[in-house]
Structure formats: structure tokens, C-alpha cells
Structure 1
Amino acid sequence: MLRFTANLSLLFTELPLLERFRAAKECGFDAVEIQFPYDLPAEHIRAALDEYNLKLVLFNVDADNLLRGGEGLAAVPEKRVQFEAAVEQTLAYARLLKPEAINVLPGCCLNPQRLDEYLQAFKTNLRLAADTFAGVGVTTVFEAVNSHDMPGFIVDGSPKMLSLLAEINHPNLRLQYDVYHMSRMGEDCAAFLARHADKVGHIQFADCPGRGQPGTGDVDFEQLFDLIADSPYQGWVGAEYKPLGNTSESLDWLKTGRAKLSVAL
């Protein structure tokens, strides 16, 4: 049976963040995820999770200026100390919020001549994160982001993810697989998950193109959800799309799903 989470950074954005927890529960979710929770004290998030009986499955290590067009944090050699501080901040939140996974965004390299430097810095930082979060029983994941939406992203496809995972070979490291980003890169997501589900620590989805809810693009979600449900993957599946209109009106994919597509703990 699939277990769905609501990504509160993209869903229910018609409400302030703390009110999105209630909205997610009322729409049938038992778990949520947040891209970057650090604008709220961890205690406030914990209180909302407890009030609505929700689990926070995943959040990211801070990525500095990545979402504002910058290179981010985890791969920039000159930001090593800043990344270490960000990991410590994430660790403090993880101790209280108890997520299942924490995502480290690789970031961009805007000077192609330095790409090897950036990749080496990212590998070093990813090992640090995997070591650190293992100490509190939290899996570390990293993801590929399509280079159409984010030019210069240093990990922009499944082959690069698999290569890094094999090279680092850390027992606490898995892939975060994003259906939208990999579809945007022209990849066959169903084929990848059929072959590599055992390497995945978290799945996120949106339709492609457009990054809207299922049914607004070209992804065959009935096939994809069937495949995930029948695969060795035992984790959560995160709805991380930009709703066309009100979020609650975008949830037909959830409301009308079959039993194995239903939300469950």
C-alpha cells in the first residue's frame, strides 16, 4: 500500500505554514514534508505535528541561495564551514522532529571549469551529513534536479545519482527520486524505479511538464503508482507539485485512488 505525504512548501500555500498541517490532515494525509522548516522554531512544528497527529517524513539541509538563483551550499568549496553549520542546525531540528530522511541538495556550479572541485566538495559534505544523521537514526538522501529549470545543477540525472551513490558507498545514504525532475530530463521513471527501487530512500512527484498535480501533464501515474506499490520500496511518496487552483481541489488523484493507493501509516 502506498503511503503519501503532503509537501507543505508547495501544497496548501493559500494558508500560513502552521495552518497547512491542519489542512493536510483534513484532506486525508497522515504525513507531511517541508523543504526548509527553519523559518519556524522546531518546537512550533512539533506542536502542530502532535496536535494533528501527523508525521514529518522529510526536510532539507539549508541550501543558502539556491532557490534565488545562486549555487547553493553543499557543493561550493568556499562554503565548507557554512555547510557544517547548516548540518548542525538540521541535526537540532531532527532531534525534535524525528524525520525518516533528510535531503541534501547538491546545488549548482556556474563555472563549468570548476565542476570537478564542486563534485569533490559535495561528496565530502554528503559523507559528513550521512555520518551525522546516522547518529540520530535518520537516513540521508540526495536528489537530482533537472537542468532546464535549474541550469548548472551538478546532479541532473539518474546516472549521476547512481554513480555518486556507488562511489560514496555509505550505509546511511540513499537516493531521493523526483518523478517531475527526471521526467523533465526525458527519463523513463517507471523503468528506473523498477530496477533501482532498493536504492531509493524517498520519492517525490509532480506531473510533467508544468509541475502540476497528476492529470495535468504527460506522466502515467496509474502505472507509476502501481509499480511503486508492487516494488521493494517501503518509504513514503511525497506530493510535491504546484496545484492548479486550490490545493484541496487538486487531490482527485488521492481521493479516487484504489485501496493500494490510499494514504496509510
Structure 2
Amino acid sequence: MPKFAANLSMLYNDVDFLDRFAAAAVDGFKAVEYLFPYAYAADDLAARLQTNGLQQVLFNAPPGDWDAGERGIACLPGREAEFRDGIGQALAYAKALSCSRIHVMAGLLPAGTSRVDVHATYVENLRYAATEAAKGNVNILIEPINERDMPGYFLNRQDQAHALIAEIGTPHVKVQMDLYHAQIVEGDLAMKIRRYLPTGHVGHIQIAGVPERHEPDVGEINFAYLFKLLDAQGYEGWIGCEYRPARGVALHATSDGLGWLKPWL
């Protein structure tokens, strides 16, 4: 049976962030993920997890200047010291939150550069992050993201991500397989699952309806079929619900849209 984690950056936006832990627990979630924890003290977040019987399964490393449009710095030459400081901060939070997965965003290609130009920087940064993460038995995750939502992003395809895993050469770097992004970029999701799950290199899965990124029962993907396929393939990890409720920030918008989840709880 699939296990679902509520993404608190996108869900329950009708209440303050720290109140979303309780809201998710009331709706039956046993785990949560979100983009960034750094605006809150780690001890405060840990207390919310404990009070509500929740497990923290994923968050992102610092992404650079998010408000200025940066989407990670792992591929940016000249930012290596900042990257290493960010990994240290992320691992401190991971320890406090008992979280074993950190997503490291690759970043946008600098103007006038190609993927070839920044490839070595990206690989070296990930090797450093993996070495540090291994000390606490934490995995670093990399995620292909579609260029419609994030133009210029370094990493877009599943085959690209898995080739990088092979090149980096450590079991502490895995792929975050977001089926929303994968459908937009390349489709053929069932075959992607059958191809890549047996490798052991998929560390986390996320879902959202395509194309609007609403509830997974809205749109072109047959998630009920894919959930059964994940079971048949022996996937025992978490599935992050990283979608925007169709009713936006209306009161109870997330809870009212969870009809798709009921059969799987």
C-alpha cells in the first residue's frame, strides 16, 4: 500500500505554516515534506512533528536567493563555499528532524553557459554533499524539473539524472522522481517506473495532476494505475503530495480535495 506525505509548502495554505502539521495529521497523513525549514527553529519543527505523530521525510537544502529567482546553486561555478555552508545547515536540520532525505536543487544555467560548462561544478558539489550526508546516514536527492515551470533549470530528464547518479558513484545520491515533471517532459511514466525502480536509485516519489498541478485525480495521469504499479514493483518509500489544491487557499481547500486519498489510507 502506498505511503503518502503531505507537502506543507503547497497544501493547507488556508492556515499558518506551523498549523499545517496538525491539519495534515487530522486528515490521516503520517508524514510531511516541504521546501525549506530555515525560517523556523529546528526544535520548534521537531516539536510539531512529535506532537502530531508525523515523520519528516524530505526538505530542500538552501537554494540561494529564492526571492531573487535562484533555484539552487549546485551547478553555479564560484558559489562552492556558499553551497558547502548550505549543506552543513541542511544536515543540522536533518539531524534535529530525524529526516534522512535532503533535496539539493541544481539551479538555473547561468546566462551564456551550457550544461557542459557547469557539469563538473555540479558533480563535485554533489560528491561533497554526499560525503557529508553519509556521516549521518542521510541521502542527497536530485530532481529533474520541467522547463515549463522552471525555464533554464539544469536537470530535466530521468535518464539525465540516472546518468549523473552513475557518474557521481555513491549510494548516498538518489533520484527524486516527480511524476508531474516527468509526465510534462517525457511521459511514458509506467515504463519509467519499471525501468528505474529496480536500480535502487529512486529515493523518493512525488505526484500532482497534469497539467494544472492540482489534485492527482484531476488531469491526464491515471494515478490509481501507477499506485498499483508502484506496489507491484515493491516500492516502499514515501510519495510526496506536492500539488496545489484546485480551490486554492479557500478554507478547507486541501481537506475537501482529498477524496482521491481515502481509498489508500
Q: Which residue of 1 aligns with 2:250?
A: none
C-alpha spacing 1:112/1:207, structure 2 compared with 1 (3 Å): farther
| 3-state SS of paired residue (1:102) | strand
Structure 2 distance, partners of 1:15, 1:231, is: 37
Q: RMSD of aligned C-alpha atoms?
A: 1.3
2:186 corresponds in structure 1 to 186
Are the counterparts in 2 of residues 31 and 54 from structure 1 also a CA contact under 8 Å? yes
Equivalence for 1:241: 243
Shift of 1:110: 3.6
Alignment match, 1:27: 27
Asked if structure 2 preserves the Cα contact closer than 8 Å seen for 1:65 and 1:73, the reply is no
Q: Deviations over 1:169-201 (max 9, x none)?
A: 212111100011111113212211111113200
% identical aligned pairs? 36
Select the residue among 227, 243, 260 that pairs with 1:253: 260
Deviation at 1:114, TM superposition (A): 4.2
Number of positions where the alignment pairs a residue of Structure 1 with one of Structure 2: 258
Matched, 1:98 2:92: no
Output the TM-score relative to the length of structure 1: 0.93
Residues 176 and 204 of structure 1 are in contact (CA less than 8 Å); yes or no, is this contact kept in structure 2? Answer: yes
Aligned equivalents of 1:68 and 1:12: distance in 2?
25
How far apart, CA to CA, are the structure 1 residues paired with 2:83 and 2:187? Answer: 31
Counterpart in the other structure of 1:200: 202
Gaps of 5+ in 2: 248-252
TM-score in terms of structure 2 length: 0.93
Structure-to-structure mapping, 1:2-13, within 5 angstroms: 2-13=2-13
Following superposition, the deviation at residue 103 of structure 1 comes to 0.8
Deviates more, 1:32-41 or 1:114-123: 114-123
Deviates more, 1:235-244 or 1:183-192: 183-192
Q: Secondary structure at the residue paired with 2:5? A: strand
Q: CA deviation at 1:71?
A: 5.3
User: Counterpart of 2:155?
Assistant: 155
Which residue in the other structure is 1:231 paired with? 233
* Structure 2 counterpart of 1:55, one-letter code: Q
- For 1:212, the equivalent position in structure 2 comes to 214
State the distance in 2 between where 1:168 and 1:151 align: 25
User: How far does the alpha carbon of each residue in 1:69-88 deviate from its partner, in whole angstroms, 9 at most, with x for none?
Assistant: 33531111111111011001
